[in-house]
Homo-oligomer: A and B are copies of this chain.
Amino acid sequence: MAPKNAFYAQSGGVTSVINASACGLIETARRHPERIGKVYAGRNGIVGALTEDLIDTSMESDQAIAALRHTPSGAFGSCRYRLKGLEENREEYERLIEVFEAHDIGYFFYNGGGDSQDTAHKVSQLSDRLGYPITCIGIPKTVDNDLPLTDCCPGFGSVAKYVAVSTLEAGLDVCSMAETSTKLFVLEVMGRHAGWIAAAAGLAAESEDQPPHIILLPEVPFRRDAFLELVRRTVERCGYCVVVVSEGLRDGDGAFIADGGSTDAFGHTQLGGVGPVIARLCRDELGYKHHCAVADYLQRAARHVASKTDVDQAYAVGAAAVEMALAGSNAVMPAIVRKRDDPYQWEIGSVPLADVANRERRLPPEYINSDGFGISDACRRYLRPLIQGEDYPPYRDGLPDYVRLKNVSVPRRLGTAFAL
């Protein structure tokens, strides 16, 4: 009997290392041709499965697949598309089975965050509920670092490094100009509900007087007056003030301080703009000349300054997903297990998808310092290992030599369309 093929898809916001997970998965699968046939990638994530738009990764050379390790973004396309529950939209699941059956797919690998692990969990129920035998493994990925039951999420370590490096560099810049120019610098970073990314900026400071002087976390309701007073005192003491603010900053009533007013396909509010709001507040109330940077996609795409630890972990969870599937596991996700802080030691564990889905891990209170405007030493101990090591991409002609795959389509076998 020919070995079953595998389906792999990238889901949700991409990261600078999600392709490293794809690399680990495909390279490992290629070492087991007796157990896994071809790896088909969904073009634009699960949407590719529903529309029978599959990419034949076997058409890519070993060299191209190896280059995924140093290429940011989602090489096969990702999507923001959430499967409803089996009861609510049985058609979607029946369609998945139809496509999987037509392409002899026996493995489902889904690479994403909390919403995606929920989808993976639902797909894992196909065997029991709809009688289609499939091995289903989730692969963790999210810059937000908000998945439970794993030490961290691949993708986060590199954003953390980007934000810490950028804060260090911009902090030196502002420091050298403050005497006659900019007194306040605000950096807006991602993090809708969890402040991990903003917290990582705290790694840039070796003492209280070094930037960032203030971190505004979504876990701590914004206190306008206390904030302004701290900015004022910091400028008096240090001559300038660097503030890092999470896009998800909220007021005491839980409302976002800045809200773009639109929502994404998961029903999440699309944010952005809180940095300028904070900067203007300081200008209006304190009169400081200010600058504001909004890192937006630059932070999660910044493979050029990736954390080696993060790249290694991203590769490892991709490889482990295949190994787990071959070992007979199902409905699980490989997780990072921390064995030691310093030097950092980690290994790959396994957690049930049912326990991961739809649970968000936010910054625990003990990671936030007493005034709520910074991080604790415990938080530093947790974060520091995740940004260790550099893993530069190769450069060609002055720019990173990122791979663009051929992404050859698998010929369709079904004559049917599917409306999303």
Contacts and interface: CB of A to CB of B under 8 A. Distances in A.
A182 B72 CA distance: 17
Interface stretch (A191-199, A264-272, A318-326): A264-272
B293 A298 contact: yes
Contacts of A300: 173
A275 B298 CA distance: 14
Given A164-B398, A389-B398, A16 B262 contact: no
A302 B13 CA distance: 25
Contact of A398 (B75, B272, B275, B307): B307
A187 B270 CA distance: 18
Contacts of A305: 304-305
A203 interface: yes
A292 B174 CA distance: 23
Given A203-B398, A276-B273, A400-B165, A180 B81 contact: yes
Interface string A56-71: 0000000000000001
Contacts of A399: 161, 164-165, 168, 203-204, 387
A79 interface: yes
Interface of A: 10, 13-14, 16, 44-45, 47, 71-81, 161, 164-166, 168-170, 172-177, 179-181, 185, 187, 203-204, 262, 264-265, 270, 272-273, 275-276, 289, 291-298, 300-305, 307, 384, 387-390, 392, 395, 397-400, 402
Q: Which 8 pairs of residues, A with B, have the shortest CB-CB distance?
A: A73-B172, A74-B176, A293-B296, A169-B301, A387-B398, A44-B179, A173-B301, A79-B180
